Amino acid sequence: MVKQYFDFNKVLQEFSKIDASMGKSPILRAIRSGLTYMIPLLMIGSFALIALSLPIPAYQSIMRSLFGSQWGNIFLGIRDGTFNIFSLLMVVCISYSYTVESQDRYSPLNPIITSSIALCSFMVMSGISREGFAIANFGVIGVFLAMLIALTSSMLFMKLSSYKFLRMKVLTHGASASYSYAISAIFPAAITVAIFSIINQVVTYFFSISDMQNFLSDFFIGLFVKMGSTALTGILFMLMVHLFWFFGMHGSNMLEPVAQQVFATALEKNQALIQAGRVPTEIYTKTFFDTFVLMGGCGATLCLVAAIFIWGRHKNQRRLAKMSFLPVFFNINELMIFGMPIVLNPIFIIPFLMVPVIVTIVSYLAMRFGLIPYTKNLVEWTTPIFLSGYVATGSIRGSILQLVNLVIGTLCYVPFIKLSEGIAAINMKNNLDKVCATFKGREEHSIMSSLLSRHDDIGGITRLLAADLENDMDYEKLELFYQPQVDFNESIFGLEALLRWKHDNNHYIFPPLIIAMAEENQLIEKLGYWILDIACRDLKRIHREIDERIEVSVNVSALQLEDSNFADKVREILQKHELDPKKLKIEITEQLALISTRRIVDQIVAIKAMGVKLAMDDFGMGHSSLLYLKEYDFDSIKLDGSLIEEIVINNNCKNIVSTIVSLGKSLNYTVIAEYVETDAQRQVLHELGCNQYQGYLFSKAVPLNEAMSFILRSNKGKHI
Instruction: Give per-10-residue mean pLDDT for the chain (720 aa).
Output: 55 70 75 81 80 78 87 88 87 91 74 92 83 73 82 92 77 62 85 91 73 65 72 84 74 73 80 84 88 91 94 82 86 78 80 93 93 88 88 93 96 90 79 84 68 74 85 87 93 94 82 88 90 96 92 90 91 95 89 68 90 86 59 85 89 91 89 94 94 94 94 71
Residue length, the chain?
Answer: 720
Q: What is the pLDDT of residue 586?
A: 94
| Burial class (CB within 10 angstroms; exposed 0-12, middle 13-18, buried 19+) of 101 | buried
Q: What is the pLDDT of residue 2?
A: 44
The dihedral formed by the CA atoms of 219, 220, 223 and 227, expressed in degrees to the nearest 10: -160
The dihedral formed by the CA atoms of 413, 417, 418 and 419, expressed in degrees to the nearest 10: 100
- C-alpha–C-alpha distance, residues 88 and 213, integer Å: 13
- SS3 at position 482: strand
Please name every residue paired with 614 in a beta bridge, in sequence order, or none if there are none. Answer: 586
Q: What is the pLDDT of residue 1?
A: 43
Specify if 212 maps to a domain. no
- C-alpha–C-alpha distance, residues 691 and 593, integer Å: 25
- SS3 at position 659: helix
- C-alpha–C-alpha distance, residues 668 and 657, integer Å: 16
Specify if 500 maps to a domain. yes
Specify if 478 maps to a domain. yes
Specify if 611 maps to a domain. yes
Specify if 310 maps to a domain. no
- C-alpha–C-alpha distance, residues 175 and 179, integer Å: 6
Locate the DSSP E strands across 410-536: 479-487, 492-500
183, 170 Cβ separation under 8 angstroms: yes
- C-alpha–C-alpha distance, residues 19 and 12, integer Å: 10
| Best CA proximity match to 615, nearest among 519, 716, 709, 694 | 694
Please name every residue paired with 207 in a beta bridge, in sequence order, or none if there are none. Answer: none
- SS3 at position 589: strand
- C-alpha–C-alpha distance, residues 595 and 618, integer Å: 15
CA-based max dimension of the chain: 109
- C-alpha–C-alpha distance, residues 644 and 653, integer Å: 8
540, 483 Cβ separation under 8 angstroms: no
Phi, psi dihedrals of residue 614, rounded to the nearest 5°: -125, 130
For 244-274, b/e burial (b = at least 16 CB within 10 A) is bbbebbbbbbbbbbbbebbbeebbeebbebe
Residue type at 147?
Answer: M
CATH number, domain of 571, equals 3.20.20.450
Structural domain containing residue 660? 471-715
Specify if 629 maps to a domain. yes
- C-alpha–C-alpha distance, residues 551 and 487, integer Å: 13
Count, in order, helices (H) and strands (E) of the chain. Answer: 35, 8
Specify if 444 maps to a domain. no
Q: Are strands 551-555 and 584-589 parallel, antiparallel or unpaired?
A: parallel
| Best CA proximity match to 143, nearest among 18, 49, 34 | 34
- SS3 at position 132: coil
Domain count, the chain: 1
**Chain centroid offset of residue 31 CA:** 17
Specify if 92 maps to a domain. no
**Chain centroid offset of residue 422 CA:** 17
**DSSP conformational letter for 623:** S
Phi, psi dihedrals of residue 702, rounded to the nearest 5°: -135, 160
Q: What is the pLDDT of residue 96?
A: 92
Say if pTM beats, i.e. exceeds, 0.75: no
